[in-house]
Structures are given as C-alpha cells and as structure tokens.
Amino acid sequence: MIHLLLIIIYLAFIGLGLPDSLLGSAWPSMYGELNIPVSYAGIISMTIALGTIFSSLQSDRLARRFDTGKITAVSTAMMAVSMLGFSVSHSFFQLWLWAIPYGLGAGSVDAALNNYVALHYPSRHMSWLHCMWGIGTLVGPNVMGYVLTRGGSWHRGYLSMALIQAILTVILLFSLPLWKKAADSHEKRMKSETKAAALSLRSIFAIPGAKEVMLTFFCYCALE
C-alpha cells in the first residue's frame, strides 16, 4: 500500500512539472496570434510564480486542516482547469486570469508533497520526487511540440495538457483511501507527540538557518 501511494505521489509530481515549461515552448506561437509583445510572457510567468509563493506559504495551515491527498487532488484539478482555460483563451487578459489558479494549484501540490515525503519516507525519495518533476518538464514541451509540428495550434497543445491533468486528477481522487490508511498508520505511530501549532511567517524566518536556506534557494531558482 505504501509503495502504491509512493507511485501516486511520483505521478502527481510529474503532473506538476508537465505545464511548468509549456509556456516557453508555446509562446513563439502565442504572442503573434494574440498581437502582444514577446516580453508579456514574463507577466504570465511572474503571476504564476506569485500564486505559487502565496499558496506555498499557506501550505502548513492547509495541511493541518485537510489531508495531503485531498490537497493534491484539488490542486491538480485547479491546474487542469487552468490548462483548459489557457486552451480557450484569445486575449492576454484571459491568459493572465487563468495563470492565477494555475500558480495557486502548483504551489499547493509542490509544498504539500515535499512536506509529506520529507516526513514519511527515507531521504532518497526526495531526490526521486524531484526527478519526477524533471520528467514532467521534459514531456510538457514535447507534447506541445508534437501538436505544433503536426499542424495543430497552441490551443490544442494546452487542451492536451488539460486532458492529461484531468486524468491525473481522477487517479488522485481514486487514491484518497490510500492516503487515509497511511494517515491512520502515521497517527498511531506519532500519537504520543504533541501537535505543534502552525508557524507564522515571522516564526519561520526565526528558525536558525532559515534565511540562508531561502537565499540559497532564491539563487538556485534564478539560475533554473
């Protein structure tokens, strides 16, 4: 059961990576059709990034109110709906609006699954988890490229991605009983521990080494 759940987690992280590099591969076809400057891709990207940051900062509170399986399923569904929204958009403003739920959903999946794997699995699985994200970022542009080189539009490329995300959402919904069994098992092992309160942003910054880790990760993401 634990191994099956781990496979589900890996699939969810592949799903997280799938649309991450999609905008860059589709933008050469998008900006001309929409009659907007090339630089507007940065606005879409930063909107997604800000949504990701916001939802990541709320992940601790969400995880204490809902289990990780539900957060992952709902967030993946948000990403699927956002991809569908991208596929039917015919203006920059529409793209910008759909970028908001996409960023919120991506941030929730990222933070929730990283936290879950760090707490409940050996450290080697964290490396494999991010390897799965890398697989997603490789597959996404290839899906878009396949559609474009066969005469399809970027709309169809995003629609294809929406369908893939929808399938992942269904898989995650069917996997909810696995998350419940795993949660019950972990709760039995940790029932003697005192449940800590959710940390505020100020409390997080006060953790020794937290500022240095955030600065390092900022530089890493800039390079990425």
Give the tokens for residue 9. 């987690």
Under 8 Å between Cβ of 113 and 12: yes
What are the pLDDT digits (tens) for 115-159?
A: 888 888 888 888 899 899 999 999 999 999 999 999 999 999 999
CA pair distance 50, 45, nearest whole angstrom: 9
Q: Which amino acid is at 105?
A: G
pLDDT of residue 192: 47
In the chain, the percentage of residues whose pLDDT exceeds 70 is 91
The tens digit of pLDDT for each residue in 87-103 reads 999 999 999 999 999 99
Q: Tokens representing 46?
A: 């930063």
Please give the model's pTM, rounded to 2 decimal places: 0.84
Query: What is the average per-residue pLDDT within 22-50?
Result: 94
| pLDDT average, residue stretch 24-29 | 93
Our measurement of the distance from residue 70's CA atom to the centroid of its chain's CA atoms, rounded to an integer in Å, reads 14
Q: Average the pLDDT over 163-181 and give the result.
A: 90
What was the pLDDT predicted at 140? 93
Residue 48: closest CA among 129, 91, 90, 109 = 109
Give the pLDDT of residue 203.
Answer: 81
Residue 180 has pLDDT above 90, yes or no: no
Q: What is the pLDDT of residue 19?
A: 92
The answer to whether 140 and 25 are in contact (CB under 8 A) is yes
For 180-215, letters b (16+ CB in 10 Å) and e give eebeeeeeeeeeeeeeeeeeeeeeeeeeeeeeeeee
